[in-house]
Structure 1
Amino acid sequence: MRYFIELSYRGTAYNGWQTQANGSSIQATLEAALTQRIGKSIYIMGSGRTDAGVHARQQFAHFELAEPLLLTESFLYSLNCMLPEDIVIHRIFPVLENHHARFSAISRYYQYLISRQKSAFQSGLTYHFRPMLDDALMNEACQVLLQYTNFQSFSKARANVTHFNCRLDFAYWERIDDDSLTFHIRANRFLWGMVRTIVGTMIEIGQARMTLEQFEQIIQSRDRNKAGRAAPANGLYLVEVGYPAQVVGAWG
């Protein structure tokens, strides 16, 4: 049987989602807790791989068991007690065998948080960036971005992909107050480092260090070396993973 996990995590202490030889990961931490609680070796597949320091308000993964799992409130409570405080499982539920956490997903929605003020309570959870940014101009850059589908200019050079095309559903900046900005972006898929590089490049626009014409030329060049520096990981959040209605319906 196949089961989906819905979870959240604060990525500050981890070297990303994927299990690796050096450093802790979200995947390995989850697998260890599930293996201990269920009493069988568990391997999980995530909807996507977040980088080191990136957070998730909503993430999905799946695993398989030969026999049914008794999903009670006490089971979930005990599992969460085994996990560190920065990882929380919200629910586990059975799905059809052809439902896949990664390949069944049709959208991923990210937010990037910027704050001009240092906070004792938000350290590692937002990008502390002091200069005032022109969010109106940055939103004009978003309109340029939405005209394109090839984002090779914003992908890490070592990305192991067959193409660089992504279908963007929306991209915009929201000013929360004088000191806080949030970038919203949703697409069917994202390239390695894409959101952080877009944010870093748009910060250049927001400081009047880059024109909209130059921004469009960067997109058209398909050259990562022409884009801005990637913004730090600590401001990035995966906030929603979308699935087709027939998959959602199967969850009950």
Structure 2
Amino acid sequence: MTSNRFFIELAYNGTAYHGWQIQPNALSVQECLDKALTTYFRQPVSSLGCGRTDTGVHATEFFAHVDLQDVAADKVRNAVGSINSLLPYDIAVKQIFPVEADAHARFHATSRAYKYFLHFHKDPFKLNRSWLFKGDLDVEAMNQAAEILQQYTDFSCFSKSNTQTFTNNCKIMQAGFAWEGDSLVFSIQADRFLRNMVRAIVGTLIRVGKKEIAVADIHEIINSKNRSNAGQSVPACGLYLVRVTYPFIK
């Protein structure tokens, strides 16, 4: 049998799921995708994602790769509609395309970008899609603090403890807040992210915005490499994985 590797681009609303990765006693996005692929292609299919999103986190762009036995590339490309009909409405496959046999959805990604959404007035249409924040924030100070992130590489202070990572070093290329309509949106791009890192960063910058800590305190927090010195993690509902970059995908 001939095995061919394919990349799948998908998007999902993570509200109903315990993250991307398959778990023993909880529904995940990966479980739903693998079940739909296995049903359609009539062979066991196991996907490997570009990363792990936590419970309740969303993705507007997410990639996974799969290996399929004896299936023509054209048939796979044209299967998007049929696969979507097998998926829950809150998960959507955008495209499936062939890649080189060694192309890896996780290890070959050169950068990832997230956005975190906050709103300030009760809005039923933003339920589970944005965090309702009650109070005022000094956005200018928050952006000054966000710029400091690019001066560092070790972000142990923003990582969950006891994670199975060899290093807590990341290269942050961009980070900052901007208004999009009546929403305040934090955007961040890096070569990699640690578990819970973005939500911990936003929680720490919120403390700056509330004037609980000074902008300069960010240096001390990062240098401490201690998670307990950073702010609390903000709720998952406002976080979106929005872009994953590969050298072989334009």
TM-score class, shorter-chain normalisation, is over 0.9
Corresponding residue for 2:99?
95
Name the aligned partner's letter for residue 198 of structure 1.
Answer: I
Paired residue for 2:149, among 138, 145, 148? 145
Deviation at 1:176, TM superposition (A): 2.5
Paired residue for 1:220, among 214, 218, 223? 223
- Please, what TM-score do these two structures have when normalized by structure 1? 0.95
Paired residue for 1:159, among 140, 156, 163? 163
Name the aligned partner's letter for residue 192 of structure 1.
Answer: R
Residue 35 of structure 2 is aligned to residue 32 of structure 1: yes
Paired residue for 1:189, among 185, 192, 199? 192
Q: Which segments of 5 or more consecutive residues in structure 1 lack a partner in the other structure?
A: none
Tell me the distance in 1 between the aligned counterparts of 2:165 and 2:76: 37
Deviation at 1:68, TM superposition (A): 2.6
Name the aligned partner's letter for residue 9 of structure 1.
Answer: Y
Tell me the distance in 1 between the aligned counterparts of 2:197 and 2:94: 28
**What SS does structure 2 have at the residue aligned with 1:90?**
strand
Deviation at 1:193, TM superposition (A): 0.4
Residue 203 of structure 2 is aligned to residue 200 of structure 1: yes
Tell me the distance in 2 between the aligned counterparts of 1:67 and 1:13: 34
CA RMSD, aligned part only?
A: 1.1
Tell me the distance in 2 between the aligned counterparts of 1:79 and 1:226: 45
Name the aligned partner's letter for residue 175 of structure 1.
Answer: W
8 Å Cα contact 1:105/1:241 also seen in 2: yes
Deviation at 1:142, TM superposition (A): 1.0
Tell me the distance in 2 between the aligned counterparts of 1:92 and 1:176: 31
Change over 3 Å in CA distance of 1:95–1:72 after alignment to 2: closer
Change over 3 Å in CA distance of 1:90–1:118 after alignment to 2: same
Tell me the distance in 2 between the aligned counterparts of 1:100 and 1:213: 39
Tell me the distance in 1 between the aligned counterparts of 2:77 and 2:8: 14
Tell me the distance in 2 between the aligned counterparts of 1:248 and 1:21: 33
Deviation at 1:213, TM superposition (A): 2.2
Tell me the distance in 1 between the aligned counterparts of 2:133 and 2:77: 44
Corresponding residue for 1:248?
249
Q: Which segments of 5 or more consecutive residues in structure 2 lack a partner in the other structure?
A: none
- 1:35-64 deviation digits (Å, cap 9, x = unpaired): 011100100000000000000000000000
Corresponding residue for 2:82?
78
8 Å Cα contact 2:77/2:97 also seen in 1: no
8 Å Cα contact 1:6/1:92 also seen in 2: yes
Deviation at 1:110, TM superposition (A): 0.3
Name the aligned partner's letter for residue 44 of structure 1.
Answer: S
- 1:163-221 deviation digits (Å, cap 9, x = unpaired): 110011100110224x4200000000000000000000100100101111222100010
Deviation at 1:119, TM superposition (A): 1.2
Deviation at 1:72, TM superposition (A): 5.0
- Please, what TM-score do these two structures have when normalized by structure 2? 0.96
Tell me the distance in 2 between the aligned counterparts of 1:71 and 1:42: 13
Residue 10 of structure 2 is aligned to residue 2 of structure 1: no
Identical amino acids, percent of aligned pairs: 43
Tell me the distance in 1 between the aligned counterparts of 2:13 and 2:223: 35
Tell me the distance in 2 between the aligned counterparts of 1:61 and 1:98: 13
8 Å Cα contact 1:7/1:89 also seen in 2: yes
8 Å Cα contact 2:6/2:66 also seen in 1: yes
- Tell me how many residue pairs correspond in the alignment: 245
8 Å Cα contact 1:111/1:236 also seen in 2: yes
Residue 67 of structure 2 is aligned to residue 64 of structure 1: yes
Name the aligned partner's letter for residue 99 of structure 1.
Answer: A
